[in-house]
Amino acid sequence: ANDPVRAGTISLVSGVQLTAPSGSTSVVGIVRRLSVFVAMFLGIAAVRRRDGSAVGVRVWRSAKNLDLVRWLALAGEPQNVDRTAQALWPEADARRARASLRKAVFEVRRILGQEHVLREGDQLWLNDVWVDVTAFASLATQVRGAHQAERYDAALESATS
């Protein structure tokens, strides 16, 4: 009941829907088979690598590295590098903030894999990530839409499946 995967399908932040191979119905099972990583921020923050293993607190080496994942995951779209650096290191001047961001990106890539943190020009984003907050918001929107259309059976099914 706590598993956010519905009918073996997960939605990535990018909006892409991935369906797990038969027999995989848990987030961990789907993550292992589809090479995505999971970021969970409802409650205690937790991240799982694409092999399904949890990223322990010590692995991050710095809370700012997890903050970077949180920032990019919750944004759900490419973020400006300068804006990201200033948001995460507001006490630093622009040069130091960018240097800190470069180090954090290096660490997050080391932890999650190069393919999961992408940069093009002045834009930075996460690739192939499932985020519980995004999934929850999407589900809430589906339930709200079904309820407003007085399709109470569909609203109940969306909310409980």
Burial pattern 67-94, b for ≥16 Cβ within 10 A else e, equals bbbbbbbebbebbebeebbbebbeeeee
The average pLDDT across 35-59 equals 78
Give the mean model confidence (pLDDT) for residues 49-54.
83
**Amino acid symbol at 40:** M
pLDDT tens readout for residues 61-110: 999 999 999 899 888 899 999 999 999 999 999 999 999 999 999 999 99
* Sequence letter at residue 76: G
Please give the Cα distance from 101 to 88 (Å, whole number).
8
Residue whose C-alpha is closest to residue 127's, from 6, 46, 14, 39 = 14
pLDDT digits (tens, 9 = 90+) for 139-156: 777 777 776 777 767 666
Over the stretch 4-27, which tens digit does the pLDDT of each residue have? 444 445 455 445 454 444 544 455
Q: From residue 55, how far is each of 48, 66, 140 by CA, in Å?
A: 6, 10, 28
Q: Give the model's pLDDT for residue 67.
A: 93
Query: In Å, how far from its chain's centre is CA 113?
Result: 14
Nearest to 109 by CA among 57, 37, 42: 37
DSSP codes of every residue in 16-51: -EEEPPTT--SHHHHHHHHT-EEEE-SSS-EEE-TT
Query: 38 - beta bridge partners?
Result: 48, 130
